[in-house]
Structure 1
Amino acid sequence: MIDNAESLTGPKALGLFLRTHRERVTPEMVGLPGSSRRRTSGLRREELAQISGISATWYTWIEQGRDVSISAATLDNLANALRMEPAAREYLFSLAAVKDPQAVHISGAPDVSLKNCVNQFTCPAYLLDSCWNVLAWNAQAEALFSGWLGGDPQPNLLDFMFLHPLARKLVTNWAERAKRVVAEFRAETSHYAHSDAVRETVISLRERSTDFNQWWTQQEVLSREGGERRFNHPAEGEKSYLQQTFFPAGYADCKLVMLVPQE
């Protein structure tokens, strides 16, 4: 049973995120001696607090989800101590509702001209919003995702990956790719932590997909990146692409995804 009251931001979400990452960092990773008598392989709260330069009591309050004020310097120390990658660090700052000086965010709704640009590409291309709804796509994308794009009046990439029967047949190594998709989407929620639409998207998918729910609870955060994307097309067989993702200037809530065929 999924708790529909769960928030993507706030003290409790912050505490859970920190605890999950603390439990993944071993003493050896931060230069502390290990011991076979330890009940857990991760850092203790007291150890993380010491490394981060804060009191154990103060850190415990943070992890317990108490409503305490946290400075950018403290977050920086915690992120460094936990060896967080840039995407995880950005997510940490967002959960704490503290401005990250490195974060840049502009917004704007896509207009018709931006959507029409998608049709100018000769390779499969599509435009996504913050919830990964597919706002526009070209004929090449519709041919690749035949049976989904063009047939769903409100296509959503997450719904396709986890709920559409075509996905597990079309996407090569579906489980590996789908797990990464969850981590990439979690990273992007740092930009839209206060968005009701994004929050409802997560809640809905957790209710409808056990796979999405399992991987969401693992708190993995990964930057969306390009790379090879392979498909088992029912009519054309094995197809390989290099994915490139772009963020149109002035449209921070949108991303343009291109799949460039590989020879």
Structure 2
Amino acid sequence: MQRTELKAFLRARRAALAPEAAGVPRGTRRLTPGLRREEVAALAGVGVTWYTWLEQGRAINVSAAALARIAHALALSPTDEAYLFSLAGVARPEPPLPPFELAPSVQVLLDRYQGPAFVLDPVFDVLAWNAQANWLFGFDAQRGPFARNHVWNAFLNPERRRLYPDFAPSALNLLGIFRMSQASHPDDARFDTLIAALSAASPEFEQLWIQQQTAPLSALRLPLFHPELGDFCVHSTRLPIRDAQADGATAFFFVPADAAAEQAFGRLGELARDEALA
């Protein structure tokens, strides 16, 4: 149990929760801005003395059920709840992730699009792509435990990295929507594994990640460069896929943003067809 951090965290969350938000009358003689310890204990259905000892960081027995009730009483977010369990040294029950499967019609849509298009799952592993995207990004050529991960390749694959001549703004936008996806899927342990691996392998990722940037899932004007296509600019258009079997998947469609991109897309189509026939 990380007692000092646990004590500080519980006190901060208790002080930040207004009594009215927890359904507790404020009264006229309240000296604290947030909830009192006895109010948290009552809301969580635990003893006042036990909760006081927990908040003081004492060595006591803590169950997952009691921690879950405290998290609910303090209106903790899913990530805050996970942090509470981690500080208390208690395993957090995690529901099994449902199977993730794209409908066959998604691949048909990608194949019919006349430009690079691909689909990412919530942790940004590439699920599907068309021939133009495969030629540009080389999805099939990657190897290793994170071979299909779009964030990993952006930072650690030199051939992928050269596609982004203005890397930092593009990377921050990518990490911004990645962070939003992480917040929407707090039970997916793959995020922690990937972020830890990226932080260990790329100081640049770690530097950008700690900036805590978020970004909406909206179109981005994205400069690109490829030795055979030259410099061109696209609208990276992101569309969420609403499907019970693929919740959290996002389709990326590159739309030409300038005349150079129009020419590059024409050439890209020829190159992809030649590669398919080879």
Same fold (TM over 0.5): yes
**Conservation of the 8 A alpha-carbon contact between 2:238 and 2:252:** yes
Matches within 5 A, 1:1-263: 55=32, 68-69=70-71, 93-96=77-80, 108-145=100-137, 148-153=138-143, 154-250=147-243, 251-263=246-258
For residues 16-35 of structure 1, the C-alpha deviation after alignment (integer angstroms, 9 at most, x for no partner) is: xx99xxxxxxxxxxxxxxxx
Give the C-alpha shift of residue 234 in structure 1: 0.9
**Conservation of the 8 A alpha-carbon contact between 1:126 and 1:135:** yes
Q: Helix, strand or coil for the counterpart of 1:170?
A: coil
Larger radius of gyration: 2
Total equivalences in the alignment: 195
For residues 122-170 of structure 1, the C-alpha deviation after alignment (integer angstroms, 9 at most, x for no partner) is: 111001111211111112212333xx33312542211111101123321
Structure with higher RCO (Cα < 8 A, 6+ apart): 1
Give the C-alpha shift of residue 93 in structure 1: 3.5
The residue identity in structure 2 corresponding to 1:151 is: A
The residue identity in structure 2 corresponding to 1:133 is: D
Q: Give structure 1 stretches of 5+ with no counterpart.
A: 1-10, 20-45, 76-91, 99-105
For residues 46-87 of structure 1, the C-alpha deviation after alignment (integer angstroms, 9 at most, x for no partner) is: 8x789x99945769x9xx9x864466xx86xxxxxxxxxxxx
Provide closer, same or farther for how the CA distance between residues 122 and 204 of structure 1 changes in structure 2, counting only shifts above 3 A. same
Find the aligned partners of 2:166 and 2:80 in 1 and give their Cα distance. Answer: 35
Find the aligned partners of 2:165 and 2:134 in 1 and give their Cα distance. Answer: 18
Find the aligned partners of 1:222 and 1:247 in 2 and give their Cα distance. Answer: 14
Find the aligned partners of 1:117 and 1:248 in 2 and give their Cα distance. Answer: 12
Find the aligned partners of 1:141 and 1:238 in 2 and give their Cα distance. Answer: 16
Residue 276 of structure 2 is matched in structure 1 by: none
Provide closer, same or farther for how the CA distance between residues 108 and 53 of structure 1 changes in structure 2, counting only shifts above 3 A. closer
**Conservation of the 8 A alpha-carbon contact between 1:108 and 1:253:** no
**TM-score, normalised to structure 1's length?**
0.60
Find the aligned partners of 1:259 and 1:235 in 2 and give their Cα distance. Answer: 18
Find the aligned partners of 2:229 and 2:241 in 1 and give their Cα distance. Answer: 31
Return the structure number with greater helix share: 2
Give the C-alpha shift of residue 94 in structure 1: 3.4
Find the aligned partners of 2:189 and 2:250 in 1 and give their Cα distance. Answer: 19
Find the aligned partners of 1:248 and 1:69 in 2 and give their Cα distance. Answer: 31
Give the C-alpha shift of residue 223 in structure 1: 2.2
Q: Helix, strand or coil for the counterpart of 1:135?
A: strand
Find the aligned partners of 1:57 and 1:163 in 2 and give their Cα distance. Answer: 46
**TM-score, normalised to structure 2's length?**
0.57
Find the aligned partners of 2:219 and 2:142 in 1 and give their Cα distance. Answer: 26
